[in-house]
Structure formats: structure tokens, C-alpha cells
Amino acid sequence: MGTEFDLIAMIQDGTQVPRADVSVGMGDDGAVVRVPPSQELVVALDTMVEGVHFLPGTAPAALGWKALAVNLSDLAAMGAAPAWALLALTLRRADAAFVQELAAGFAQLAREYQVALVGGDTTSGPLSISVAVHGLVPAGAALLRSGARVGDVVLVTGTLGDGVAGLYALRDPPRDTPERAALRRQLVERLERPVPRVAAGIALRGLASACIDVSDGLLGDLGHICAASGVGAELDATLLPRSRALRELHGESESLEFALTGGDNYELCFTVAPEHLQQALTDLGRVGCGVAWIGRIVAGSGVRVRDGHGGWLTPGTRSWEHFA
């Protein structure tokens, strides 16, 4: 133990996923992979920094899982099937146990989606993790932000607001009943072990007119769809899917705020033309993905939210911006 090369070998050992399309995996200056002629390549790169994207003391296995998960979520939002990943790990000192646990968390998710880790790099410095992912999508079938049209329905997978609630649960754990403590753990799990909506993204190929993952908060992310598509959106607050844990621990008003603006959620927000709606719901049901109809695309720009009493909500913030 003790050199850059040993750390990479440890990560490699923990994350072996065999893929026939990898010509040269980890251990050379670059990896060599093959893209089938009928497919386009989707690429994304995300960095997680200690104290910004995760709290100091977060379990390394959770970091490994999440660093890959947030990137797979980007692929999911494009409708791409995950294929290969590269991992750049910066840590203050060569800590074998830390790296082994991080690799194990990464590998657990990588195996689930058959993602081969084909490149890696460890350096010393303040703790951060960069992951580059590569996915495949039939040529022309990638889900973009720019295809939403007036009259399309706005939908979202799973439940909203749990990620930011998980952060509260971690930061400020009160003495609590066992039942509330269990709900709290559910929210922390949602924060630390987000499940990328890969199967849902693939199911939505040819059906969703636009798609994005809710990493920065629903209002901000749906706002990106509206801006890219040249449209507006109207949401109905009463339709926003919220978990029982979120409602019970944070109440109606705060859970709504979290659902609208909380980042770190990794559900898919997407739009579907009315004629494709039935098929989209059927296909998502087939892959076991919960989905909620939350609004509609309208002419204009920006996102407005009905409050359920005939009025409009005016939330305080619009997105989770790192430099806001």
C-alpha cells in the first residue's frame, strides 16, 4: 500500500464488470472501447466535493455509490444505456480502507447496471471524486431538454424533495421516536444512495418530448426544459409526489417547498405529448417505475405553480445553485 498505482489496482479489483465492447480497460494511458455503428455515444462528467456535495464523515461506500449514481442519472435523463466509467479520486492521504470501501460502493452500483470501470486516477488533495460516464443510445433517439411542446404533459418519476430532507436529517438529528427515526433513515438513504432512473430513461425513448434529471430542484430543472424548448410550464402543487417520510417529518408547507426547489433528487422530470401518454405510463409501469402527472406545457416562458386554491405559489428560490 502507499502508491498511486496500488490505489488504482484496488479500485480495479473491486469493480470488475466484464463487457465485450471494452478492447483495453484500465491500466494503459487511456481505455479503448467500441461503439456499435447504430448507436450514438452519450458522455457526462460530474464532480463531488467534500463539504459541498457531501458532508465530511460520509461513509466512503456511500460516496462511491453516489459519485456513479449522479452520473448514471445524467445518462438516464438522455435515455442512454450505461456502458463505461472513469473515476478520478482525490484524497488527502493514501487510506487503503477508505479506498476499498469507496470502490465497493461504486462497484455495487456498477454491477447493477453493467458499467465497466475503464480508467482511473488517484491524486492527493482535498477530498473530491470526479466520474465520467459513457452510455449508448440508438442514433437520433437521445432525450433532450429542447423538445417540449405546448400541450405536452409534465411528469416526474418517484417522489420529490427527499434528497434535501435527507441532508436536514443528517445535519440536525433530533431525539426522536423509533418510528420517526426510521423515516429519517429513509430520507438519508435517498440522499446517500440515489437510484438512477436508467430503465425509465430507456423506456421513454421515442415517447418523452423532453427530459432532465432533478439534480438542482424541480423548478430550476423544469425551467431548463422550458428555456431550451421555448415554452412555459404550469404545475399543480397538489399533484407533486411526496414520500410519507417527507410529509410526516416536514409537514405540508415545507415538504412542498422541498419538492419544488430541493436538489439532489435524481428523479426524471419529462414531458410527453398527449398521444404518447398512455404508452409512456404503460412502459414505465413495466419497468416498475412510479410516475406522477404534475402539470402541463404552455405558451410563454418560465414555470408557474398553482396552489390548489385557485391561486399561484411564489416560492423563495428557484434552484439549488452552488455559487448563488
Q: Look at the block and give the residue holding cell 458532508.
A: 55
For residue 322, the one-letter residue type is H
Minimum distance of a second copy from residue 227's CB (angstroms)? 10
**Which of 263, 209, 257, 201 is closest to 231 using CA atoms?**
209
Q: Is 190 exposed, middle or buried (0-12, 13-18, 19+ CB in 10 A)?
A: buried
- Number of residues in contact with a second copy under rule CB under 8 A: 73
For residue 226, the one-letter residue type is C
If the CB atoms of residues 78 and 169 are measured against a second copy, the closer one turns out to be 78
Q: Does 197 bind a second copy (CB under 8 A)?
A: no
Q: 118-177: which residues touch a second copy (CB under 8 A)? A: 118-126, 128, 130, 132-135, 137, 139-140, 142, 144-146
With b meaning 16 or more CB within 10 Å and e meaning fewer, what string describes 76-87?
A: bbbbbbbbbbbb
If the CB atoms of residues 141 and 170 are measured against a second copy, the closer one turns out to be 141
Stretch that binds a second copy, among 67-75, 165-173, 180-188, 270-278 (CB under 8 A): 67-75
Q: What is the Cα–Cα distance from 216 to 226, expressed in whole angstroms? A: 15
Interstrand relation of 302-306 and 232-236 (parallel, antiparallel or unpaired): parallel
Minimum distance of a second copy from residue 74's CB (angstroms)? 4
Minimum distance of a second copy from residue 23's CB (angstroms)? 6
Minimum distance of a second copy from residue 166's CB (angstroms)? 19
Stretch that binds a second copy, among 24-32, 57-65, 229-237, 255-263 (CB under 8 A): 24-32
If the CB atoms of residues 36 and 251 are measured against a second copy, the closer one turns out to be 36
Minimum distance of a second copy from residue 180's CB (angstroms)? 33
Q: 205-264: which residues touch a second copy (CB under 8 A)? A: 211-213, 228
Q: What is the Cα–Cα distance from 211 to 79, expressed in whole angstroms? A: 9
The cell for 167 is 441532508
If the CB atoms of residues 167 and 249 are measured against a second copy, the closer one turns out to be 167
- Assess contact for 106 and 71: CB atoms under 8 A: no
Q: 270-299: which residues touch a second copy (CB under 8 A)? A: none
DSSP class of residue 207 equals T
Q: Does 63 bind a second copy (CB under 8 A)?
A: no
List the one residue from 171, 175, 309, 322 that touches a second copy (CB under 8 A).
322
- Assess contact for 266 and 197: CB atoms under 8 A: yes
Angle of the 244-261 helix axis to the 218-229 helix axis, nearest 10:
40
If the CB atoms of residues 57 and 323 are measured against a second copy, the closer one turns out to be 323
